[in-house]
Structure 1
């Protein structure tokens, strides 16, 4: 079941109209993702920045765009930094708060710098890196988790994606203060009114998958579904060419943004989420916002979002899950999705900020 949240009013994204408090505090966001990457973490910061500015904070980002960088093996859209001059950059920023969003080279440099200079910080845990590395390179998960426990060891708060992930990390020996966050949807973009009977001439039912096209995402399970109609993969990545060759009857669109992406969601009859390794799945709540039910495995991510047989269906047989999803009430799906709010996400994020001088904020 989704968390108990209250639907909040839509607010414009034009920050020129905002009247922030007089004293502006700086939050340094350290992220090994480029801000042009398309993923849930980048989407989150893009959307909560409005609310941060409204409440008297500003985000300053430290990303690979600030440094020499190279492609991550197997993930050319992900850039690994060579953080030359790192200390000079962070000293010039002099943030009031430090949030380390990822565990890559920039995140690592920031933890080392902060630990050496007695600066408190919090961290984010959004990606099951050990599982990804195991799938891609065969490295045992135990090695990856040993690194992650060490990485987060001095974090004053570890923000992760759900209560399930909190339990998983605690069971793996993470002893910090681990707190669940939530995500949201921009309802000015993701609207059920975008649905139309004839969508790009596609035969129905239209089954949709959205996300990075990489091997650990379980996309073979989606592409292999023996189902009438049309299967569409929205997204791009290193695995796309291989998938296109293996499954010529599947439509691959590449990355889509904004209204174009929302139209795919709204016109799909079912979103299929075949991943077993995601910690959440922003694409799930984007689909729900337009009334599209979701078929998924009963794993971390879907089980923290979906209401079984109301907003989606989870189980080990994706085909049976799709069958059941096509019988669900799209209006009920859309109504149940109202709990997912970017303002609520920001409020949780702000509540767990840690002052660099060791004093936690209380609200």
Structure 2
């Protein structure tokens, strides 16, 4: 099957959305599918206000149509609600092509935090965006129930995975001068991550922050006693996970939290608020959930690292990719190829023939 993913979030961004899409595409390719991408780097862009590292595509409609036509997909997945997402949605509706979408990011809460726009207004826009989707994929059962209660339809669950070969328990000697216990945060330094709620806590030992982002300068000035390690990658990132004794996840707005799985895979118990994401991932043996985050941090110190690693083993990217493929809405058996290649809707055949999977072409992109 030929799967085309349209996303406004892509490299050089480093976030959960990009990592999820990239990893799922590689796993789906291993399962025999051909996956292509339409991403901002294929268009003229401008920087997103307050987030200049995120590039927004300018007037993508015509080029997007050509990219889709050249790829000849069997299914289209619209991953984000940015300019590319809206353009792909508009094109699919115009041509009568079914598509799926995903709720990766809590835009209503993020927009409210950054621009003080009431969340109810943004939720209305999000419902409009996702309403025609044949399947709106969400990462957790809690988010599924929340969105259903807000009037979102056609919901499908789509979990996440962790690279169990990269993120493993190991030596904790990378930061020997930091007093223990070490409470660790890994992720973007941005206002919506609620990092102050962690850094302001009165905790024994040390606090370690790994990552970069627009809040870096402010946080370093406000909390000079915290060790800021900056952005880390590959084995260096794994080593910084391992260095900690407890992983602290202060966000109240993430839809999942891939770093929670990565911490568990490295043997770190997790302290977090009892909100969707952590509440769906963690068990009493692997994490402490509490509205009093300090209490959660101290309780997490007593949890067994081996239990954390064992729990992480149940989250594989292969299963995540298979779930994604199961959720998509293929159309070439019902919608002939000329519907993709032209701007004119095409009548649906009464008795479509069987659809044959496309050959795997490693590394292919739109």
Do they fold alike, i.e. is TM over 0.5? yes
Residue 331 of structure 1 pairs with residue 272 of structure 2: no
For structure 2, list consecutive stretches of 5 or more residues without a partner in the other structure: 336-354, 356-366
2:277 to 286, 301, 315: 301
User: CA contact under 8 A between 1:187 and 1:289: conserved in structure 2?
Assistant: yes
* Paired position in structure 1 for 2:140: 162
C-alpha distance in 2 between matches for 1:253 and 1:60: 35
* Paired position in structure 2 for 1:28: 4
For structure 1, list consecutive stretches of 5 or more residues without a partner in the other structure: 1-24
Query: How many matched pairs?
Result: 334
* Paired position in structure 1 for 2:113: 135
1:136: how far off? 0.4
Counterparts of 1:9-28 in structure 2, within 5 Å, are 25-28=1-4
2:161 to 176, 184, 189: 184
C-alpha distance in 1 between matches for 2:134 and 2:19: 24
Residue 356 of structure 1 pairs with residue 334 of structure 2: no
* Paired position in structure 1 for 2:297: 322
2:216 to 240, 254, 259: 240
1:197: how far off? 4.5
Higher mean Cα deviation, 149-158 or 349-358? Answer: 349-358
**Which ranges of 4 or more aligned residues in structure 1 deviate by more than 3 Å?**
357-361
Q: Helix, strand or coil for the counterpart of 2:329?
A: coil
User: CA contact under 8 A between 1:120 and 1:358: conserved in structure 2?
Assistant: no
1:83: how far off? 3.5
Residue 60 of structure 1 pairs with residue 33 of structure 2: no
* Paired position in structure 2 for 1:199: 175
User: CA contact under 8 A between 2:270 and 2:286: conserved in structure 1?
Assistant: yes
After superposition, the Cα gap between the structure-2 partners of 1:83 and 1:61, relative to the gap in structure 1 and judged at 3 Å, is farther
User: CA contact under 8 A between 1:288 and 1:311: conserved in structure 2?
Assistant: yes
User: CA contact under 8 A between 2:269 and 2:308: conserved in structure 1?
Assistant: yes
Bigger-Rg structure (1/2): 2
C-alpha distance in 2 between matches for 1:185 and 1:55: 17
* Paired position in structure 1 for 2:55: 79
1:358: how far off? 7.2
Counterparts of 1:255-274 in structure 2, within 5 Å, are 255-274=231-250
* Paired position in structure 1 for 2:361: none
C-alpha distance in 2 between matches for 1:67 and 1:200: 46
1:91: how far off? 1.9
User: CA contact under 8 A between 2:166 and 2:238: conserved in structure 1?
Assistant: yes
The normalised TM-score by structure 2 is: 0.88
* Paired position in structure 1 for 2:263: 287
Q: Helix, strand or coil for the counterpart of 1:339?
A: coil
Q: Relative contact order (C-alpha < 8 Å, sep 6+): which is higher?
A: 2
Residue 110 of structure 1 pairs with residue 96 of structure 2: no
* Paired position in structure 2 for 1:126: 104
1:154: how far off? 0.7
RMSD value over aligned CA atoms? 1.6
Q: Helix, strand or coil for the counterpart of 1:321?
A: helix
User: CA contact under 8 A between 2:172 and 2:239: conserved in structure 1?
Assistant: no
User: CA contact under 8 A between 2:56 and 2:83: conserved in structure 1?
Assistant: yes
User: CA contact under 8 A between 1:120 and 1:357: conserved in structure 2?
Assistant: no
